[in-house]
Chains A and B, each alone.
Chain A
Amino acid sequence: MRMRLPLEWIAALRFLGQGRVQTSFIIAGAAIGVAVIAFMSALLAGIQANTIRRSLLSQAHIVVRPAEEIARPLRLAGTEEATVQKRTQRVVSIDQWRKLRDEIRRMPGVSVASATVSGSAFAIRGEASKSVLLTGIEPEEYMRVVPVADKITSGSARLASTDVLVGSELAHDLGLRAGDKLRLVAPSGATAVLSVTGIFDLGSRGVNERNVYVALRTAQDLLDLPGGASRIEVTLDDIWEAEKVSRAIAAQASLQADSWIRTNEQFFLALRAQTIANYAIRFSVGVAVALGIASVLVVSVVQRSREIGILRAMGASRRQVMGIFLIQGGLVGLAGSFLGTFAASLLLAIWRSGIRNADGTPLFPVTLDPTFMAWAALAATVVGTGAAITAARRAANLDPVVAIRG
């Protein structure tokens, strides 16, 4: 009582201090709950961030394409075609793509917009031939969408009009090394012989097998799209804005704009499901902790009913008595959250040191966000206080006469 705390705080602290065993059990319970939540959330956030990062490594956040070509049957009076065949989709250029690209660049939330020409082609070397996805890029810009330059495993990312960058799988299949020549043949029959300046590894087998990067001009020539661009690839400051921005782009011009969320719907749904499962687990653990705190405090009210009665007889108001127990609940929650986040950071440290990739690098970064810790402390305090409501009301409603007579 050296400190000048209000009565409710002094009594709450003393009661907790006196029931040391009970108090430490319930704080341990709360701490385990918080630790499980913190550890799981950090792990899941790490996994998700890592999966997203990996899968977005080789693709743009938004891909803008010309609108789909639709067959419009002529309608003559009295006659109607019985079947309307769907049109095949040709590689066509986006109308005024330079202007559009510059407009997209100026849109809020957009960090890079880069024009590409892409279509299928064959990569031929000697006897071997592979079907590839040929993409003509503006190297400077495109490297900021897909960081090919950072992922070059041999050679360099230099890309002049006679150069080509190939993936590691394709290089393996065709026996290519940096400096070798590679012949690309477009469906139209157009052919170009290019020299392999670099081999990249974008972390996905499919991408490494199929993607081939050339200069924009080269692709325009091969795919017979002189001066055109078939796609504008966009990266954003915030990947979760992709849907919003893609709708804004599509609304601006009669174009098709697909966000990564839409093109990777399955993947995205899986992430969603994971997040929901995490919330469900957090909620259940929170409820379990709250029930634990509540039951211990209710028992404590029964144990202390005489003391509560005497406090009431000495003039303590219902509010003061209630405050004593609410504060106990809050303090237990708060203490539990501190211990719990500490335990979680220990667990994460063990995780980081114990579980690594084959090459010894960390599997993915898992860290406890300081704001998460602040939220955990706040939430645990609120949950603890909430859990104490039943006990506090019981205490406040004790009839001093009955309580004192015991």
Chain B
Amino acid sequence: MGEAVLRLEGVRKSYEAAEALRTEVLHGIDLTLAPGEFAALIGPSGSGKSTLLNLVGLLDRPSAGRVIVAGEDTAALDESGLTRLRGRSIGFVFQYHHLISAFSALENVMMPALIARGRPDDEMRDNAARLLESVGLARWSDQPVNRLSGGQQQRVAVARALAMRAPLVLADEPTGNLDTKSADGVFEVMRAVNIANGTAFLVVTHDPRLAARCDRVIELVDGVIVADAARDPGFSPGARRAGDGRESASTRS
């Protein structure tokens, strides 16, 4: 059990429309995510899920409290430091896949590495091809992404989120836009990666079916964590990784 991939300590976030109109969206969040955890973040609309995800994704800064990603306290980092840490440590999967339509599936998967290293190279390409294969899209790698189905596009997005071998993947409604069958496909892929690589996932979802299949469910209501429980009563993050995980994955499929 290594160091936590994510630790939030007393995180608050408020928005200020005017001096008098100060709205606090998150009221002191404490949360720790260990390597290899697969957690769902649920809650009604307006509960602050997206705000929390933006803070964790280093797309925004908290008003108070500490956000520690991969052992690095983000308060000490400037804008470009945040950008670098984000590129290195966090993969994103969004509801509307957000692939870059001018590029092929393979190139989209290469993109995070390309951004980090500046120029394409063979290693980048091979790695992207392997990732596409692992999400079952090897055949489609040279297709422009807008020729793929919604489920396929979301799987490309998952592969892309994994390209930098980030220890943490944030998924915002990754299946919200998909039919049940495609949604299952995407979930399977994320789960398989989680088990094979020990990548931690934090998945924001409205889909109770999806939440039910995560190891841990964190419920956020009105900016406060009201419930945080391992779904499996016998679950403990350290014990799950090698044995149980694989088994449960194979029984599911």
Which A residues have a C-beta under 8 Å from some C-beta of B? Answer: 1, 4-7, 10-11, 14-15, 17-18, 306-307, 309-318, 320, 400-401, 404-406
Least CB distance from A325 to B in Å reads 14
Find chain A residues with CB under 8 A from B111 CB.
Answer: 311, 314
Question: Does any Cβ of A come within 8 Å of B75's Cβ?
Answer: no
Find chain B residues with CB under 8 A from A318 CB.
Answer: 79-80
A15's contact among B102, B114, B164, by CB below 8 Å, is which?
B102
Chain B interface residue count: which class? 35 or more
A312's contact among B50, B54, B83, by CB below 8 Å, is which?
B83
Q: How far is the CA of A309 from the CA of B164 in the complex (A)?
A: 18
CB <8 Å contact, B107 and A401: no
* A7 in contact with B114 given A312-B83, A314-B92 (CB within 8 Å): yes
Q: Which residue of B lies closest to A14 (CB)?
A: B102
Q: Interface centre among A4, A309, A401, by most B CB within 10 Å?
A: A401
Find chain A residues with CB under 8 A from B6 CB.
Answer: none
Find chain B residues with CB under 8 A from A401 CB.
Answer: 54, 59-60
CB <8 Å contact, B87 and A7: no
Q: How far is the CA of A318 from the CA of B83 in the complex (A)?
A: 9
CB <8 Å contact, A400 and B59: yes
* A1 in contact with B107 given A313-B92, A400-B59, A401-B54 (CB within 8 Å): yes
Q: How far is the CA of A242 from the CA of B120 in the complex (A)?
A: 59
Which B residues have a C-beta under 8 Å from some C-beta of A? Answer: 50, 54, 57, 59-60, 79-80, 83-84, 86-88, 92, 94, 96, 98-103, 107, 110-112, 114-116, 118-121, 125, 160, 164
Find chain B residues with CB under 8 A from A5 CB.
Answer: 119-120
A404's contact among B98, B103, B125, B164, by CB below 8 Å, is which?
B98
* A313 in contact with B59 given A1-B120, A4-B120, A404-B94 (CB within 8 Å): yes
CB <8 Å contact, B57 and A313: yes
CB <8 Å contact, B112 and A314: yes
Find chain B residues with CB under 8 A from A6 CB.
Answer: 118-119
Find chain A residues with CB under 8 A from B98 CB.
Answer: 306-307, 309-310, 404
A7's contact among B88, B99, B115, B164, by CB below 8 Å, is which?
B115
Given A10-B120, A307-B100, 15 extra CB contacts under 8 A:
A1-B125, A5-B119, A7-B118, A7-B119, A10-B114, A11-B102, A311-B111, A312-B83, A313-B59, A316-B83, A316-B115, A317-B83, A320-B115, A404-B59, A404-B94
Q: Which residue of A lies closest to B50 (CB)?
A: A405
Q: How far is the CA of A142 from the CA of B57 in the complex (A)?
A: 86
* A315 in contact with B101 given A5-B119, A10-B120 (CB within 8 Å): no
Q: How far is the CA of A310 from the CA of B80 in the complex (A)?
A: 16
CB <8 Å contact, A315 and B118: no
A307's contact among B83, B101, B116, by CB below 8 Å, is which?
B101
Q: Interface centre among B79, B99, B103, B121, by most A CB within 10 Å?
A: B103
Find chain A residues with CB under 8 A from B112 CB.
Answer: 314-315
Q: How far is the CA of A262 from the CA of B118 in the complex (A)?
A: 61
29 A-B pairs within 8 Å (CB atoms) are namely A1-B103, A1-B107, A1-B120, A4-B120, A5-B119, A7-B115, A14-B102, A306-B96, A307-B98, A307-B100, A311-B111, A311-B115, A312-B83, A313-B86, A313-B92, A314-B87, A315-B83, A315-B86, A315-B87, A315-B88, A315-B164, A316-B115, A317-B80, A318-B80, A401-B60, A404-B59, A404-B94, A405-B50, A406-B96
CB <8 Å contact, A18 and B59: no
CB <8 Å contact, A315 and B84: yes
Q: How far is the CA of A309 from the CA of B59 in the complex (A)?
A: 10
Least CB distance from B63 to A in Å reads 15
Q: How far is the CA of A152 from the CA of B112 in the complex (A)?
A: 79
Q: How far is the CA of A269 from the CA of B226 in the complex (A)?
A: 86
CB <8 Å contact, A14 and B103: yes
Least CB distance from B3 to A in Å reads 21
